[in-house]
Amino acid sequence: MRIGLGEDIHRLVPNRDLFLGGVKIPFENGLLGHSDADCVLHAVMDAILGALAKGDIGVYFPPNDPAYDGADSKLLLKEVVAIMKKEGYRIGNIDVLVTAEAPKLNPYRDAIQTSIAGLLETKKENVGLQLMTNEGLDALGHGEAIAAKAIVLLEECE
Ligand code: MG
């Protein structure tokens, strides 16, 4: 078994679509980034790569590489899942924590869990999702950004 931790934050800005966990969420602002800026999937990817001691997503998908301009993070995660499988591991379970003052994400909990489970080729029961606010404190609490953390346990495939 191997354990890994991932973390990400992106700034919320107007005129961008908001993607969290591979789900498009209706909101007046979206996350700014080189790819679609899905901080949830980025934290998930870094947790898996960290568990494999394979660095982080910056190694595989450099932010200055135009190939990843507006990239769909779901496709990037599929590449990371392929690396995990090639190394002989599968998801044991993963716990994901999202900090967003707005929008309220509870209505999307099921969709986000289902999306992450599908991308990770695991059961929804293996995907924990904690939805937090920052209690109005700091940049997250002022709605200037959304952040995510993920911790993953990988099991060796027989
Ligand atoms: Mg990111």
- Give the global pTM: 0.97
| Ligand 1: centre distance to CA 92 (Å) | 24
| Ligand 1: centre distance to CA 158 (Å) | 32
pLDDT at 64: 84
φ/ψ (deg, to 5) at 101:
-70, -40
Q: How many CA atoms lie within 13 A of 115 on its CB side?
A: 22
In the chain, % of residues over pLDDT 90? 93
Model pLDDT for residues 136-156, shown as the tens digit of each residue: 999 999 999 999 999 999 999
Where does the pLDDT of residue 65 fall: very low under 50, low under 70, confident under 90, or very high at 90 and above?
A: confident
- Would you state the structure tokens that stand for residue 21, as one six-digit string? 């966990």
**Average pLDDT over every residue of 126-133:** 98
